[in-house]
Amino acid sequence: MRAATACGVVAVLSVLCFAVLDAAPGSAAASILEARSGGRPAPPAAVAALEREMGLDDPMPVRYVRWAAGVATGDFGVSYRSGRPVADVLAETAPWTLLLTAVATLFSVVGAIAAGLAAALTRSRRVRRGIEGVLFTLGGMPGFVTALLLLWIFAGWLRVLPSGGLHRPGEALTVGIVATHLLLPALALAFGHHFGVYARLVQTGVERLRAVPHVDSARARGLHRRTVVLRHLLRPGLVPFAARFGAGVGTLVAGAYATEVIFAWPGVGREAIAAARDQDHALLAAIVLLTGLVVVLATLLGDLAVAWLDPRVRLGTPTHD
């Protein structure tokens, strides 16, 4: 059922993607000829000839089917800007984006659970207020402002981390060097996108359970505090967080775009922004489609995580909270 909806979303996404990019003003053939002749506008006859050669004058459904068939076999066309196959550009950049997003997701989950738990369990009013204040401020910061702030603190002021890129020019690409360059963008991505919301969801999820009978009874039976927290508070308390996080992975993936631009991370996002600026439609369409696919998959995974955490969802019984 869920999977069927997801397939529908992907189909609509692909049509939208193609239609929107196809409706763009300007002729791709004209700009290719212009680039070849060094900026001189091309004669209309030459433009028409190239359009026929590229199949750009076919009716739209024909072009959509051709594009979709190509995409299904991994052929995304040629990037107008660099003249290289889109698939090559993606193969080069996608792994770095996946790495960045995966590490950022890890930071985000661990950080949100830690901050949320600390705020929910601390007995000190001041600590709780402090955490809540920081979370609220983070909630009002656009992702790129968080990134600039981290960049300034760690690369500009303390000078402990590199400001961008994958490695210094001429330096070998080793795990350690990539890790130091990865740390700052991953932190920026994790803390810049809904982190406050996630931590608050963990906090309220756990707080809501503190006064519930099964937790009192677990405590009364003399269970270790750690067992009570992990088994009886955290696992059920994470349900609202997990439900929201699955939907929020999309924001994280899209947030990687701006983060990659700021930190000169050689990923898909930097290509996407450049493609949008230069109206490189083949590249942009492929990136938007693939990102959409990843997001739909992530949402499905989020639903599975909720089902694992909350047996009521798994068994199909109605939930009341």
Nearer to another protein, 5 or 37 (CB): 5
64 binds another protein (CB under 8 A): no
- Other Cβ atoms closer than 10 A to 45: 8
192 binds another protein (CB under 8 A): no
Using a CB cutoff of 8 Å and minimum separation of 24, what contacts does 118-121 make?
A: 119/199, 119/203, 120/202, 120/203, 120/204, 120/206, 120/207, 120/210, 120/237, 121/206, 121/229
Size of the site for another protein (CB under 8 A): 52
CA nearest neighbour of 191 among 247, 256, 146? 146
134 binds another protein (CB under 8 A): no
Q: How many Cα atoms sit within 13 Å of 92 on the Cβ side?
A: 10
Distance of CA 130 to the CA centre of its chain: 28
Of the candidates 117, 275, 282, 286, which one interacts with another protein according to CB under 8 A? 275
Of the candidates 197, 247, 304, 313, which one interacts with another protein according to CB under 8 A? 247
- Of 90-98, 114-122, 225-233, 244-252: span binding another protein (CB under 8 A): 244-252
Q: What CA–CA distances, in Å, run from 111 to 131, 145, 182?
A: 12, 19, 17
268 binds another protein (CB under 8 A): no
277 binds another protein (CB under 8 A): yes
Of the candidates 2, 3, 7, 12, which one interacts with another protein according to CB under 8 A? 12
- Of 58-66, 143-151, 200-208, 220-228: span binding another protein (CB under 8 A): 143-151
- Of 47-55, 72-80, 113-121, 247-255: span binding another protein (CB under 8 A): 247-255
Of the candidates 77, 255, 267, 302, which one interacts with another protein according to CB under 8 A? 255
In whole angstroms, give the CA distance from residue 279 to residue 126.
Answer: 51
204 binds another protein (CB under 8 A): no
In whole angstroms, give the CA distance from residue 17 to residue 19.
Answer: 6
Of the candidates 279, 301, 305, 313, which one interacts with another protein according to CB under 8 A? 279
The DSSP annotation for 257-315 comes to HHHHHHTT--SHHHHHHHHHHHT-HHHHHHHHHHHHHHHHHHHHHHHHHHHHH-HHHHH
Nearer to another protein, 151 or 190 (CB): 151
- Let me know how long the chain is: 321
129 binds another protein (CB under 8 A): no
In whole angstroms, give the CA distance from residue 259 to residue 145.
Answer: 10
Cβ 235 to another protein shortest distance, Å: 27
Assess contact for 78 and 84: CB atoms under 8 A.
yes
What is residue 168's DSSP assignment? -
185 binds another protein (CB under 8 A): no
CA nearest neighbour of 183 among 158, 147, 140, 134? 147
144 binds another protein (CB under 8 A): yes
Residues that bind another protein (CB under 8 A): 5, 8-9, 12-13, 16-17, 20-21, 23-25, 136-137, 139-145, 148-149, 151-152, 155-156, 163, 247, 250-251, 253-255, 257-258, 261-262, 272-273, 275-277, 279, 281, 284, 288, 291-292, 295-296, 299
